[in-house]
Structure 1
Amino acid sequence: MKLVIAADHAGFPLKEDVRAYLETKGHEVVDLGAYTGDQPDDYPDFAEKLGEAILAGVAKKGVLICGSGVGVCVAANKIPGIRAGMCHDTYSAHQGVEHDDMNVIVLGARIVGTALANELVDSFLAAKFISNEERFTRRYNKVLAIEARYQCGDGSNSKA
């Protein structure tokens, strides 16, 4: 599977570990940065790069990492079409895809270690959206409707 991966400086070491792991599993991984962990940078920049790459069709799924996971998760979910979920357990990693069609897994580098991060990514990638169950499709469509109501034609995500 082709994936995109990105992290800020705080998530850089875990990104490198997860990227290498995914490549050993045969995945094609497009690394969108950061390319070093010793330069302070801003997590929204990497969340936006990853979201734009998914929307452009570079890959259908992505892995996004920062120190806690919270910042990149908030930023990524501002992008229409991105459904990012922060996961620190394997149940959430697969359930987010199965029930909510999550297309980005978010990890907190200061929260999870490499072994757990690899398990989380495996669980995320193995999962499929359960589109044949009416309740999941109904809920997913409601999420899309909310997104459409708040998306403005000027590229912003505000009703104001």
Structure 2
Amino acid sequence: MKIGIGADHNAIELKDELKKYVIDLGHEVIEYGEDSACTEIDYPGIAFKVAEAINSREVERGILVCGTGLGMAIAAGKVPRIRAVTCHDTYSAERAQKSNDAQIITLGSKIIGPELAKHVVKIYLESSFPGGNSARKVQQITDREKEYLENKLGL
């Protein structure tokens, strides 16, 4: 699988560890954003780049890391057709895919340590969306998003 990964300045070290780990798992990684903890990097721009890369099919899934993971999830979720969730445990990571078909997970470097983060990422990448009852629910989200874009916002 091709994975987009990015981080703000609060999470460069964790992003670097996760990048190596994802490659070791056999995936291709495309990195988005700068690679320096010395430069302040605003998380929305990184989140938008990864989300847009998913929409353009440049990558299949994304992993975003900031201080809490929350800002990245909010920003990525503003890109149409993207479902991004913050995961700090393996059960949430599994459900992100199996229940929600989330294309992006986000993690907080100030909340989760590198070893647990690796387990979370592994479970997320190993999980797939089975459809079933969850497909109906995800479709409801997609339909509402489309309605807002077309009718409410005139896009």
SS at match of 1:6: strand
* CA deviation vs aligned residue, 1:21-73 (integer Å, no higher than 9, x gap): 11122211001123111101211010011111111111110101110111111
Cα separation, partners in 2 of 1:39 and 1:119, compared to 1, 3 Å? same
- Structure with a larger share of its residues in helix: 2
Q: 1:125 & 1:3 partners in 2: Cα distance?
A: 9
**Runs of 4+ residues over 2 Å off in structure 1:** none
Q: 1:63 & 1:94 partners in 2: Cα distance?
A: 14
The aligned residue for residue 100 of structure 2 is 100
Unaligned runs of 5+ in 1: none
The aligned residue for residue 67 of structure 2 is 67
The aligned residue for residue 58 of structure 1 is 58
After TM superposition, the score normalised by the length of structure 2 is: 0.94
How large is the RMSD of aligned CA atoms in angstroms? 1.5
Cα separation, partners in 2 of 1:115 and 1:139, compared to 1, 3 Å? same
**2:148 is matched by which residue type in structure 1?**
Y
**2:44 is matched by which residue type in structure 1?**
P
**2:100 is matched by which residue type in structure 1?**
D
Aligned residues: 154
Q: 2:136 & 2:26 partners in 1: Cα distance?
A: 34
Does residue 128 (structure 1) correspond to residue 128 (structure 2)? The answer is yes
Cα separation, partners in 2 of 1:143 and 1:46, compared to 1, 3 Å? same
Shift of 1:11: 1.4
Unaligned runs of 5+ in 2: none
Cα separation, partners in 2 of 1:39 and 1:100, compared to 1, 3 Å? same
- Counting only pairs closer than 5 Å after superposition, residues 138-153 of structure 1 correspond to structure 2 as 138-152=136-150
After TM superposition, the score normalised by the length of structure 1 is: 0.91
* CA deviation vs aligned residue, 1:65-122 (integer Å, no higher than 9, x gap): 1101111110000001111010001000011100110110110011101101100000
SS at match of 2:37: coil
The aligned residue for residue 85 of structure 1 is 85
Q: 1:34 & 1:104 partners in 2: Cα distance?
A: 19
Q: 2:42 & 2:20 partners in 1: Cα distance?
A: 23
Q: 2:107 & 2:25 partners in 1: Cα distance?
A: 19
Cα separation, partners in 2 of 1:141 and 1:13, compared to 1, 3 Å? same
Shift of 1:158: 5.0
How many percent identity over aligned positions?
Answer: 36
